[in-house]
Chain A
Amino acid sequence: MEKMSRVTTALGSSAISGRTMFCHLDAPANAISVCRDATQVVVAGRNIFKIYALEEEQFVEKLNLRVGRKPSLNFSCADVMWHQMEENLLATAATNGAVVTWNLGKPSRNKQDQLFTEHKRTVNKVCFHPTEVYMLLSGSQDGFMKCFDLRKKESVSTFSGQSESVRDVQFSMKDYFTFAASFENGNVQLWDIRRPDRYERMFTAHTGPVFCCDWHPDDRGWLATGGRDKMVKVWDMTTNRAKEIYCVQTIASVARVKWRPERKFHLATCSMMVDHNIYVWDVRRPFIPFATFEEHKDVTTGIVWRHQHDPHFLLSGSKDSTLYQHMFKDATRPVDKANPEGLCFGLFGDLAFAAKESLISSDANRKPYPGGDRRYPIFFFKKPDPTEQFAHVSSALSVFETDLDSNRMDWFVKTAQLYLLCGKPFAELCDHNAKVAQELKRPQVSTTWTMLRIMFSDPANLTMPGLNHNLSKLGTLPLMNSFNMKEMSSGMGTESRLERSKGESRQDNIHLEPGNSHASNNNEENEETEGSEGQAEYMFCDAELDDDDLYSMENDNQAEEQEYMLPQEAFQLRHEIIDNPSAPEHLQQDKADSPHVSGNEAEVTCLTPIESFSLISISQPLFSPHLPASFFCPIVREMLSYYAEQGDVQMAVSVLIVLGDRIRKEIDDLTQEHWYMSYIDLLQRFELWNVSNEVIKLSTCSAITCLNQASTTLHINCSNCKRPMSNKGWICDRCHQCASVCAVCHHVVKGLFVWCQGCSHGGHLEHIMNWLKSSTHCPAGCGHLCEYT
């Protein structure tokens, strides 16, 4: 409110008003400028040089300054500026290197006043001194800046940037003698107008050209710069070294930047290429524009605030040959369209959810949930700042943790680490992996491995003892599964959506809680060692039930039956299922399902131990040695897809690798690739780099193996001169020293070389390890506290 009142006083009686409006120009504009009382605007371009009056409802052409039969290149303007003290005075920068001043008070048609042709190349920018009437500054492509006294015929002083072209020059608003210049090579220089011999200060502001700069109208130390690197930076120049205090990343190179009057943190930008919009940024909120003007159809080339104390009117000229007056109230506010909700899954099944506070609090009937899921009330509150006009969005972040036991992924990590995928005969690999799975209490997986071995290896190699051993261990399993089954039938419906929806996940967890405890209780009663295994298993069962209700019913029945049986009697069940794999024809009569599914089924119901038993005891005579391994391929294929669908892509990929050529042809490449990708992704999330690399190496898909050939470049610095090594090999091409010298023993390192990313020093792995035991500083003596991770 205070501010507003100040604005009106500043504007005095001639308060400006207007609306969003535009007019067509005859040619593309390069630059625009307004006169001090904000009633007229001048538009300049290659083929246009006109003055328009700003009226209530429209632009009215006042004057065409482009006169003469054959307009010379002096009219081809790169920049224009209206003097802020003297309302008849204008200056233009011409593309041919001329600086021209114009006096509107001249009676003749040609208003050209003075012509300075001292620059050798295009003049990019002209700038009047804010308080001194006769002082004009120009910056040119030839690398020089010149200061003109308009009472004299030629420049009074020349400033040499000692570098490439000058893109912008701006007098400081507050310091009488200071001006800033921005350069094509990314530098910004500060000059004292009295000292043409040397700049006061220079710093590198951007990579690539700095197209524009603007002093803050109120704060004397602030300079905004915009560059080809798509950044707008705000520098605090009051300190010894120019300090970057704000940085806004835009989507295209920044052609112009202008501070918004009366709003300390706002600035307007437009771009030079591709993007036609004008953005107004609050530099404190650099990720989303505060306001956007989207009227132009081609790049905007000039922007200017209509009055130096009025933040509501913005004028702009564009390559699309239009001149616009934008009302601030008509601007689009991207913030309103932004989606303030966010949702993300954690590695271990946790879920973070951020939403507008209002949205969450309105959900009043939610109850706090006990146990596994907790809400973290993390609020990011910034101190409400009255000057900041952004609509405040405060989001509440909730994190829902899944129950530690139910979704634990330990088994995944362990399995990944312990599995052997190559390097041994097929049968041994299977045995090993079966054992691993067994130790991790995953009998189903374990059995699958065992079966695979039986199916695909030479029958002569079958080792009976191993299997029996296996079997005896698994004997009690069916019972346990049955418990799970049963428990599940109660809370079944919501179950499968566990991962998908956050709302339900909460419910599920509560529902699960008793279930789990129940299950584990039962387990403890029956088989103490089976403790935590139930949960892992249960995921499989769950989804299966979803797939096939009929089948699940069947299972439930079985399970109920079983519940009252003693562990040993679980064998009774086997006889039912034993038939499945060995006698598919029989099964087809019973069910419409294909024989493959039956094999599948047997595993699914976690009754596989029995099956394996059957294979040994009964089916061996049936599957005489002459039965080819390919006979099983369809079953195995089904099995793999089943695992993959269950989310255990680990199993699918591991089997795929171990079986190798035996199965590869059965599965189409895309599916394989998909599995590999998912597994590798998972492994990398768990930071199992070695395993993931092994998988990549062993895979047979070309799309996967080539992963190892992508982004193999490692950028290094020379340990000597600290500059990036562009060369291949270890000789730095700048200082011609070998960069791979061990900092400890001073010999050239061949083999494992480890180095600090901070100071680029390093050496033999073991030397560095030894060194770091005794000291934390860099062995090269550079004083850096090295970090090796």
Chain B
Amino acid sequence: MEVQDQESLGRWDRLGSRDAISRTKAMENICQDVMRKVEAIRPIPSLAPPASGSPPKSDLNDILAHLLMLSKRCPYDDVKERCVRLLQGVQDLGVRIPRPLGNGPSRFIPEKEILQISKVDARTQSIFEDAFAALGRLDNISLVMGFHPQYLGSFLRTQHYLLQMDGPLSLHYRHYIGIMAAARHQCSYLVNLHVNDFLQVGGDPKWLNGLDEAPQKLQQLGELNKILAHRPWLLTKEHIECLLKAEEHSWSLAELIHAVVLLTHYHSLASFTFGCGITPEIHCDGGHTFRPPSLSQYCVCDIANGNGHDSVLTVGVLSCSLFPKEMCGEVEVLMERMKQLQECRDDEEASQEEMATRFEREKTESMLVATAEDEECVPSRDISRHFEDPSYGYKDFSRRGEHVPTFRVQDYSWEDHGFSLVNRLYPDVGQMLDEKFQMAYNLTYNTMATHKDVDTSMLRRAIWNYIHCMFGIRYDDYDYGEINQLLDRSFKIYIKTMVCSPEKTTKRMYESFWRQFQHSEKVHVNLLLMEARMQAELLYALRAITRYMT
């Protein structure tokens, strides 16, 4: 990714205007610019053998890639259309144009379904337009989250505040911390995105060679990043003290809170990215290619996904209908269980010991849930350079030998304690996170698959508490037996993988849980997982900071 020069940056900005006329003007400018560039290099391809991505063309190629992105992702139809026409025009002139690799923003969800959303819901459309105006792009994450516009609004507001608005950390630090956090989970999508942003806000490209080249101050954050991402319960006040008392490289409390919020945000966003199979941005590396399409290029998942040609779509449908027996009634069974739990709750009261053992059992069982096939996937060097100690991963909470006391929410909760601390040191963010958590926790459409008017609160609470349980956080007032009733094995596998080692999430896992549910519901689950994980990490981090302060 080269740094785009100032001029080319300004080029795209005006396209975000809500005013159709100024969009048209901006588009005209771009047209002229591109044509000029095409004119300049035109003789070359005719003389030299066509080599895609040859140096003199790279600048143009970037622009073409960006145009391609716009033609697919821009929320404004007029811009989309013009981009398509411009690309066509360029191609007619004999210049090779890029084409997107892997269709759609998500590998798991058919492109059509995602792109339909904004057409139907005016609110989503307006949020998309906002996001586009602010960033000049509409990332795939936002597109997928577009299923839930209420949440998306809150999410984008928070993210924008964390990255762009007033805060104790400088802009390039923020993006770099984002890169560090995403890299911990080998999330190349987020890393690429933020490498671009990092360079745009004037970050030193040298830092990108690895954490060793970054300032001492950021290097020290590596340890916190590692622990938070994989075993947050090990975080102690000594870790915090270490960061705050490092003489000239020390962090201030406000900076640390900002960093912690960023780290947890990106850890959990990495979970979401893998959980929904977000594909690379079209204009980023790996999002497009200049090669002409050939049949062998299709990857199987695209076909099964219904993202390919219409003719192969039937294959996908067929493969789904292979397991009709298993599927039918899954939803009904779940609903029946919820009803039962609701009813028999009062008469059959479990003893306290029983409750405690249920939590322990759920905890131990969550360990037994195998996280994917244990294939050691070696992180590509490209990303692993952003963090140290790649072997450090999620280790199950409280194995035999090292006993870590259970974290009781009643003693340290987000609402009572965490919020106050964050808001004290990083004003407004507490409020935004609070809103976001509540939004994620309370979001419901009272539907399950095809059924309407279902109270899903029990299911949502089970998911939320199950995730916290994996991090050793216990709610005194929750009967962990419910989890076993409501979450089946394949769903647990998915949750566990996504939360603890998201990079191992596969399409198969995504498909094998809750088969009858709609994609939007699965995205909803992903949102819950993401926020629950973020809160769990935050709670541990904030508790450590509170302990340091007292």
In the complex, the answer to whether B134 meets A74 with C-beta atoms within 8 Å is no
Q: Of residues 405 to 452 in B, which have CB atoms within 8 Å of A's CB atoms?
A: 408, 410-411, 415-417, 419-421, 424, 434
B126 touches A122 (CB 8 A): no
A121 x B477 contact (CB < 8 A): yes
Chain A, 722-750, CB within 8 A of any chain B CB: 726-729, 731, 733, 736
CB <8 Å contact, B476 and A95: yes
User: Closest residue of chain A to B122, judged by CB?
Assistant: A736
Interchain CB contact under 8 A, B415 and A184:
yes
Q: Please state if B356 and A73 are interface contacts (CB–CB under 8 Å).
A: yes
Q: Chain B nearest CB: distance from A732 CB in Å? A: 10
Residues of chain A within 8 A (CB-CB) of B550 are 276, 297-299
| Cα A70 to Cα B408 with chains together (Å) | 18
- When distances are taken between beta carbons in the complex, the residues of chain B under 8 Å from A731 are 18, 126
Inter-subunit contact B355/A96 (CB<8 Å) = yes
CB-nearest residue of chain A relative to B129?
A729
Q: Give the contacts of B459-484 with A (CB-CB under 8 A).
A: 476-477
**Interface size class, chain A:** 35 or more
Which residues in window 475-493 of A have CB below 8 A to B?
none
**Given known A273-B546, A728-B130, contact A76–B416 (CB-CB < 8 A):** no
**Beyond the given A97-B476, A274-B424, A299-B550, could you list 4 further A-B residue pairs with CB under 8 A, ordered by the A residue number?**
A184-B415, A272-B417, A729-B133, A733-B126
Q: Which of B345, B352, B356 has the most CB of A within 10 A?
A: B352
Question: Does B37 make an interface contact (CB < 8 A)?
Answer: no
CB distance from B483 to the nearest CB of A (A): 16
Q: Is A209 an interface position by the 8 A CB rule?
A: yes
Residue pair B126, A120 in contact (C-beta under 8 Å): no
Q: Is B353 an interface residue (CB 8 A)?
A: yes
- Chain B residues in 8 Å Cβ range of A103: none
Set B130, B134, B352, B549: member contacting A73, Cβ < 8 A: B352
Whole-angstrom CA separation of A73 from B410 in the bound complex = 12
**Known contacts A253-B420, A273-B420; A117 and B349 CB within 8 A of each other:** yes
**CB of B297 within 8 A of chain A?**
no
Q: How many residues of B contact A (CB 8 A)?
A: 33
Contact call B411/A73, Cβ cutoff below 8 A: no
Residues of B within 8 A of A120 (CB): 345, 477
B50 to chain A, nearest CB (A): 43
Please measure, in the bound complex, the distance between the C-alpha atom of A705 and the C-alpha atom of B549, giving whole angstroms: 38
Q: Which residue of B lies closest to A733 (CB)?
A: B126
Q: 28 A-B pairs, CB-CB below 8 angstroms?
A: A46-B408, A73-B476, A74-B352, A95-B408, A95-B476, A96-B355, A96-B476, A97-B477, A119-B477, A120-B345, A122-B476, A141-B477, A211-B416, A228-B415, A228-B420, A252-B420, A273-B421, A273-B424, A273-B546, A274-B420, A710-B166, A728-B130, A728-B133, A729-B130, A729-B133, A731-B18, A731-B126, A736-B122
Nearest chain B CB to A283 CB, angstrom units? 23
**Does B380 belong to the interface (CB within 8 Å)?**
no
Kindly list chain A residues whose C-beta atoms are within 8 Å of the C-beta of B352.
Answer: 70, 72-74, 96
Known A297-B550, A729-B18; judge A272-B133 contact (CB<8 A): no
**What CA separation (Å) do A97 and B384 show in the bound complex?**
47
Query: Can you name the residue of chain B whose Cβ is closest to the Cβ of A115?
Result: B349
Give which listed residue, A72, A95, A97, A252, contacts B424 with CB less than 8 A.
A252
Number of A-B contacts (CB under 8 A): 85
Task: Check A46–B420 contact: CB distance below 8 A.
Answer: no
Q: Given that A72-B352, A252-B424, A728-B130 are known contacts, is A274 also in contact with B549, CB under 8 Å in the complex?
A: yes
A76 to B153, CA, bound (A): 39
Nearest-neighbour CB distance to chain A for B451, whole angstroms, equals 24
- Given contacts A273-B420, A297-B550, A733-B126, whether A95 and B410 have CB atoms under 8 Å apart is yes
Q: Which residues of A contact B476 (CB under 8 A)?
A: 73, 76, 94-97, 122
Interface of A is mostly: loop
Which residues of A, 274-288, contact B by the 8 Å Cβ criterion?
274, 276
| CB 8 Å contact bits of B335-351 with A (1 = contact, 0 = none) | 00000000001000101
Across the interface, which residues of B come within 8 angstroms of A726, CB to CB?
153, 157
> Which partner residue on chain A sits nearest B130 by CB separation?
A728
Taking the complex as formed, is B515 at the interface, i.e. its CB lies under 8 A from any CB of chain A? Answer: no
| B477–A95 CB distance below 8 A | yes
> In the complex where A97-B477, A121-B477 touch, is A273 in contact with B417 (Cβ < 8 A)?
yes
Q: Which residue of A lies closest to B410 (CB)?
A: A95
Complex: A97 Cα to B73 Cα, angstroms: 50
Knowing A97-B477, A228-B419 are in contact, say whether A46-B546 is a contact too (CB < 8 A). Answer: no
Give Cα distance in the complex from A533 to B351, angstroms.
93
Q: Are A733 and B546 in touch, CB under 8 angstroms? A: no
- For A710, the chain B residues whose CB sits under 8 A away are 166
Flag if B477 contacts A122 (CB, 8 Å): yes
Closest CB in chain B relative to A25 CB, distance in Å: 15
List A residues 250-287 near B (Cβ within 8 Å): 252-253, 272-274, 276
A196 at the interface (CB under 8 A from B): no
List B contacts of A76 (CB < 8 A): 410, 476
Taking the complex as formed, is B123 at the interface, i.e. its CB lies under 8 A from any CB of chain A? yes
A727 neighbours in B (Cβ, 8 Å): 126, 130
Closest to A296 in B: B550
Given contacts A76-B476, A122-B477, contact A70 B424 (CB under 8 A): no
CA distance A285 to B123 in the complex (A): 48
Q: Point out the residues of chain A lying under 8 angstroms from B434, CB to CB.
A: 208
The residues of A that contact B133 with a CB separation of less than 8 Å are 728-729
Q: How far does the alpha carbon of A235 sit from the alpha carbon of B131 in the complex, in Å?
A: 43
A78 within 8 A of B: yes
> Per-residue 0/1 for B134-167: is the Cβ within 8 Å of any A Cβ (1 yes, 0 no)?
1000000000000000000100010000000010
Report the nearest B residue to A95, measured CB to CB: B476
Over the window 696-722 of chain A, the binary record of Cβ atoms lying under 8 Å from chain B Cβ atoms (1 yes, 0 no) is 000000000000001100000000000
Shortest A212–chain B CB gap in Å is 12
